[in-house]
Chains A and B, each alone.
Chain A
Amino acid sequence: QVQLVESGGGVVQPGRSLRLTCAAAGFTLSSNAMHWVRQAPGKGLECVAVISNDGNNIFYADSVKGRFDISRDNSKNTLYLQMNSLRAEDTAVYYCARDLSSDVWSGYMDYWGQGVLVTVSS
């Protein structure tokens, strides 16, 4: 069955970097666009970044543009989120989610990981 497992979260100081990893199983990652969605404690959902199935199309939320970098290694069935210059407001649970689309993206997120907590604090 489809599984997405995030890792790499933790506590980090403001200004530092962290890389999240999302390992996919049960399907071929190259078949789907992928998203990173975050949820600050007690808050709603925010789409942080999305990448097409082949990696050629990427979109970032304004809140992370220039600081975060989404990438994928289809040969390893793995999605990444490199987060630089972290701020307190980046504190959230980060989810990776699979897009129903096999092309660019549709926005329909049919499978989600369990989420990983990133805490930015001095």
Chain B
Amino acid sequence: DIQMTQSPSSLSASVGDRVTITCRASQTISTYLNWYQQKVGKAPKLLIYAASTLQSGVPSRFSGSGSGTDFSLTISSLQPEDFATYYCQQSYRAPITFGQGTRLEIK
């Protein structure tokens, strides 16, 4: 199975900050990398797919980049509603696997 490793595991930031979360795959996955946001008690929400394509309705302050094994999710200016847990996910090869999550907290 392809292992996905996110860093950091948790992050404290303030409204207005620029934040970057990274994700590394255990083998090359081209750009088959997706990002999800999950708030407490809610289902995950697709933010970005194919490494850099913004899902419809997702604010443009979210962006993704990377290819091969190294990827990143950037939030350009944190808003109060962005505090949540973020997961990367590879869809290059079954089984589809997720990173362990990055919890973004208010400083």
Contact = CB atoms under 8 A, between A and B. Distances in A.
B44 A45 contact: yes
A107 B32 contact: yes
Contacts, number: 58
Which of A59, A112, A115 has the most CB atoms of chain B within a 10 A radius of its CB?
A: A112
Contacts of A62: 1, 95
A63 to B, nearest CB: 9
A32 B15 CA distance: 38
B46 interface: yes
A80 interface: no
A61 B42 CA distance: 23
Interface string A75-107: 000000000000000000001010010000111
A23 interface: no
Which of A35, A61, A109, A112 has the most CB atoms of chain B within a 10 A radius of its CB?
A: A109
A107 B91 contact: yes
Given A110-B46, A112-B43, A59 B98 contact: no
Contacts of A45: 36, 38, 44, 87, 89, 98, 101
Interface size class of A (residues with CB under 8 A): 20 to 34
B43 A108 contact: no
Contacts of B34: 107-109
Contact of B98 (A46, A95, A97, A113): A46
Contacts of A26: none
Nearest to B85: A44
Contacts of B43: 95, 97, 112-115
B55 interface: yes
A108 B56 CA distance: 13
